[in-house]
Structure formats: C-alpha cells, structure tokens
C-alpha cells in the first residue's frame, strides 16, 4: 500500500482506525487458557531444574 | 511453586494477558511472535515475583517488560522480517486473525494493513504511545507510568504524533 492510499485519512479517522483495530485482534478464551497452562508447566519445570542445581551445589559444598 | 505467587501470577495473567498479546501484536504484526512475546513477558514477571521484587504497578511492569522484549527483538532484526512476512501473507490472502463479528475477513485485513501503514510513519516510541492510547485504551497517566514520565508529556507526544501523521496523510 502506498502513501497515496491514505490521502483521505484525517487524524481523527486515524484514531478511529486504531480504536477499531482493537476489536479485531484478541486471543480466544480457549487459546488464553492453553497458553496459561503452557506457562505454568514451564514455571514448574524451571523450579524443578533450579531445585536440582541447588541440591548439586549443596552436594559440592559438602565435598 | 509458592501458592501466593501462583495466585498473583494467575490473577495478572487473567487480567492482562489479552492486552499484552494485543500490544505485542501491533508492534510485531505476527500472531505467533505476539504469543511468544506475551508468554516471555509473563515468565519474566514470574521471576520478579519469586525474586521478591516489589511490584507496585503490575500493568506498567508488564508493558515495560514486553516493550523491552520487542526492542531486543527489533535489534536482532526479527521484527522487521516478521512484519514483512506477515504483510506478504496478507497480500497472498493467507493471513487471518481471530474473528470479529461485523467485519469480513477482507475488511479486517484492510484495516490491519492501514494501521500498519500509519504506524510505520512514526518512531518506535510514538508507535508505542499511539498503540497504548488508542488500541489499548490506556490513559495518559497509565502510559506515563510505563514510560516513567508525566501524563502531560505523554499528551504532548500524542498530539505531536497525530500532527506528524496529519503531515503524511
């Protein structure tokens, strides 16, 4: 799209376009829930990995 | 996982995930990348929580994290490539976004293309501010909290950005 295509857009129309754009981009409730579960799994995994590192470090400290 | 952290995390996710996703989308114009950025934003927020850092303004923190992630990405040139790819897909007719009643796919694509064209006239900060103000619906005070400045400064920057758009359009 070239600049000329926007030649009839006033600042107020630009604002209206931005406001309208809000309504067309969103996550579905299902996708939001899926991503939440993925995140929680990642966080649980990281916590376990951190726990392993701590145990290994403690074991090294005992040597 | 400490329960109180988990509760705070889930509350923040429920409240802000969609907004952060949308903000990221309108900065990278890729659904997949926006999802990744949103997830990484919340991962980093989790680290804030477990590190015991005081979160006074959750909304501002999440926007700051996602904004920094986008800046890091753009430095690596991925955003430009992503935008070019998304725009190409749009032109090819393979680009789709979640449905919105009242608008056809063609109208949605056209609107997204117009928004992209408008935004690319502006600097990164100006794009951020206009997206936050008019797409996200944040107040100048809320945006000022994200940028660590005054609401008046944000209002002036909004005015100047719109004026700049006017010069181009």
| Whether the predicted pLDDT of B135 surpasses 80 | yes
Residue carrying the six token digits 């010069």: B167
Taking the C-alpha atoms of residue B126 and residue B163, their distance in angstroms, rounded to an integer, is 11
In a domain, B57, yes or no: yes
In a domain, A18, yes or no: no
In a domain, B43, yes or no: yes
At residue A10, what are phi and psi to the nearest 5 degrees? -85, 165
In a domain, B119, yes or no: no
Global confidence as pTM? 0.80
The number of distinct structural domains making up chain B is: 1
The residue range of the domain holding B66 is 3-97
In a domain, A17, yes or no: no
In a domain, A56, yes or no: yes
The number of distinct structural domains making up chain A is: 1
| Mean pLDDT across B7-17 | 93
Q: Which residues of A touch B114 (CB under 8 A)?
A: 1, 6, 9, 17
Taking the C-alpha atoms of residue B6 and residue B27, their distance in angstroms, rounded to an integer, is 29
Q: Which residues of B touch A21 (CB under 8 A)?
A: 26, 111-112, 115, 135
Are B129 and B158 within 8 A, CB to CB? yes
In a domain, B160, yes or no: no
In a domain, B20, yes or no: yes
Which residues in A have their CB inside 8 Å of a CB on B? 1, 3, 5-7, 9-11, 14-15, 17-28, 32, 35-36, 38-40, 42-44, 47
Is the sign of the CA dihedral B16, B22, B26, B27 positive or negative?
positive
In a domain, A60, yes or no: yes
In a domain, A5, yes or no: no
In a domain, B9, yes or no: yes
> By C-alpha distance, which of B6, B40, B5 is closest to B20?
B40
| Whether the predicted pLDDT of B69 surpasses 80 | yes
In a domain, B24, yes or no: yes
ipTM metric: 0.73
The residue range of the domain holding A63 is 28-63
Euclidean distance between the first and final Cα of chain A, in Å? Answer: 68
Q: In chain A, how many H helices and how many E strands?
A: 2, 0
> Does B159 contact chain A (CB < 8 Å)?
no
In a domain, A6, yes or no: no
pLDDT of residue B82: 64
Per-residue confidence band for B110, with pLDDT thresholds at 50, 70 and 90: confident
In a domain, B47, yes or no: yes
* pLDDT tens for each residue of A2-49: 444 444 567 888 898 899 988 888 888 899 999 999 999 988 887 777
């Amino acid at each position: 799209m070239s600049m000329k295509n926007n030649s009839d857009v006033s600042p107020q129309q630009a604002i209206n376009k931005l406001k309208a754009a809000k309504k067309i981009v969103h996550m579905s409730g299902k996708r939001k829930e899926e991503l939440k579960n993925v995140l929680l799994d990642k966080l649980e995994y990281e916590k376990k990995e951190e726990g392993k590192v701590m145990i290994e470090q403690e074991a090294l400290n005992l040597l | 996982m400490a329960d109180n952290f988990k509760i705070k995390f889930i509350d923040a996710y429920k409240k802000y995930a969609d907004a952060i996703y949308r903000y990221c989308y309108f900065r990278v114009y890729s659904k997949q990348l926006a999802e990744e950025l949103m997830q990484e934003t919340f991962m980093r927020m989790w680290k804030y929580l477990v590190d015991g850092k005081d979160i006074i303004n959750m909304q501002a923190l999440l926007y700051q994290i996602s904004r920094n992630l986008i800046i890091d990405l753009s430095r690596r040139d991925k955003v430009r490539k992503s935008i070019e790819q998304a725009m190409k897909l749009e032109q090819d007719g393979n680009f789709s976004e979640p449905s919105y009643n009242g608008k056809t796919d063609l109208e949605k694509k056209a609107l997204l293309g117009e928004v992209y064209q408008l935004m690319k006239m502006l600097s990164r900060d100006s794009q951020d501010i206009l997206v936050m103000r008019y797409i996200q619906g944040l107040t100048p005070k809320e945006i000022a909290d994200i940028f660590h400045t005054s609401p008046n400064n944000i209002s002036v920057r909004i005015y100047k950005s719109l004026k700049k758009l006017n010069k181009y359009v």
